[in-house]
Chains A and B, each alone.
Chain A
Amino acid sequence: MALGSCLYSEPYVFAQTDQTTSKLQAANTAIEQAFNAVLDAEKAGANVTALLAQLNTAAGILAQAENSYRAGDNTTAAAQADSVLPIAQQVTASAQDAKQTALVVGQNAFWSTIAFTVIGAFVFVLALFLVWRRFKRSYIKSLSEAKPEVNSQ
């Protein structure tokens, strides 16, 4: 009976370990995808402080799951790995939204800067040209009003 029990329980332990390993792998992949999405949002100019805080919650649970697995507690490890997935998926979705928003804001800022540059440069050159015309007129006037000097040779 003891032998039968061993034969029956051993495949169960292996199956549970495999299941836990695949759950941990899935959680790892979800966290990495979430981080990639956050990094993309950051590169697009989004503020990712809140997203990273949320990601750290998921990453902390994943670390606990890995620690439980190494300590031999497969049941806890599997449950913890499962709880990582919804948080990581939420972070990924929020990061993608933040990236889109940041891209639109960035594009608007870019066109505003271009418009400011073109208008600003035009107004400046025009103002400088008017100043130059006035200066030139007064320069020529001062030349024409100047008395000729007699040069004795």
Chain B
Amino acid sequence: MKLEGYKLIFVVMGLIGVLLIATPALAGDIHLPSGAQFSELYLLGTNQMAENYPSNIAVGENYSVYVGVGNQLGSSAYYVLYVKFGNETDQMPNDTLSTPSSLQPLYEYRFSIQNSLDWENLLTFSVSNASISGKNSQINTLQLNGVAFNVDKPAIWDSKSATFKYQLLFELWIYNSRTSAISYNDRFVDLQLNLTRTL
């Protein structure tokens, strides 16, 4: 090989070496595309598994579920988790329009989560005042984590499933630091409940 060929090899080695040495300084300015950013909302049964969810409920009995939220947004986030209570005819959140249910929230959790971390909490609920009369039922008082709420929610006998259908709805809302507002995060889970008996 001629001297010019060796010279070229040295120049290339020099450039590669300088680039390697400058890598820590360049790393701050190079932003690789991040993965999908999203929040998770999940509901678990009493043993913190996706099983043994309460469904048939009776007045005076306590029931529990674990509700969890995961943050995969790339930075810390401040969430509000609303718990709503409705019957079969109440409007659920709309997936297509990304709108929340029109039901008023009864109970709420507020918390912030760092990126890639989860938050989980136990919700204990019970029906403390309800009535069944023929094909009509009404739940008057619902206790959520020990706080009693007047709900006065009626339900009509569903002959197909042979139940009085109610639902506990969990909606995830998130704080947007740009708009300084808390808005619906397009995530919800619902727990179908069947009122079986009153006192």
Chain A residues at the B interface, C-beta cutoff of 8 Å: 31-32, 35-36, 38-39, 42-43, 48-49, 52, 55-56, 59-60, 62-63, 66-68, 70-72, 110, 113-114, 116-117, 120-121, 124-125, 128, 131-132, 135-136, 139-140
User: Could you tell me if B10 and A132 are in contact, using CB atoms closer than 8 angstroms?
Assistant: yes
User: Could you say which residues of chain A place their CB within 8 Å of the CB of B14?
Assistant: 124-125, 128
Q: With A and B bound together, what is the CA distance between A38 and B18 in angstroms?
A: 38
Interface Cβ pair total, 8 Å cutoff? 96
Q: With A and B bound together, what is the CA distance between A47 and B111 in angstroms?
A: 18
Minimum distance in angstroms from B81 CB to a CB of chain A: 9
Instruction: Select which of B13, B112, B144 is within 8 A of A35 by beta carbon.
Output: B112
Q: Give chain B's interface secondary structure class.
A: mixed
* 13 residue pairs from A and B, CB less than 8 Å apart: A39-B76, A56-B111, A56-B112, A59-B78, A60-B110, A66-B110, A67-B108, A67-B147, A70-B149, A117-B25, A121-B18, A124-B14, A128-B10
| Number of chain B interface residues as a range | 35 or more
User: Could you say which residues of chain B place their CB within 8 Å of the CB of A39?
Assistant: 75-76, 177
CB nearest neighbor in B for A41: B76
Chain B residues at the A interface, C-beta cutoff of 8 Å: 3, 6-7, 10, 13-14, 17-18, 21-22, 24-25, 28, 75-76, 78, 80, 105-114, 144, 147-150, 175, 177, 180
User: Could you say which residues of chain B place their CB within 8 Å of the CB of A136?
Assistant: 3, 6
Minimum distance in angstroms from B191 CB to a CB of chain A: 19
Minimum distance in angstroms from A42 CB to a CB of chain B: 6
User: Could you tell me if B3 and A139 are in contact, using CB atoms closer than 8 angstroms?
Assistant: yes
Instruction: Select which of B18, B76, B150, B180 is within 8 A of A125 by beta carbon.
Output: B18
- Beyond A52-B112, A113-B25, whether A70 also contacts B107 by CB under 8 A is yes
User: Could you tell me if B3 and A113 are in contact, using CB atoms closer than 8 angstroms?
Assistant: no
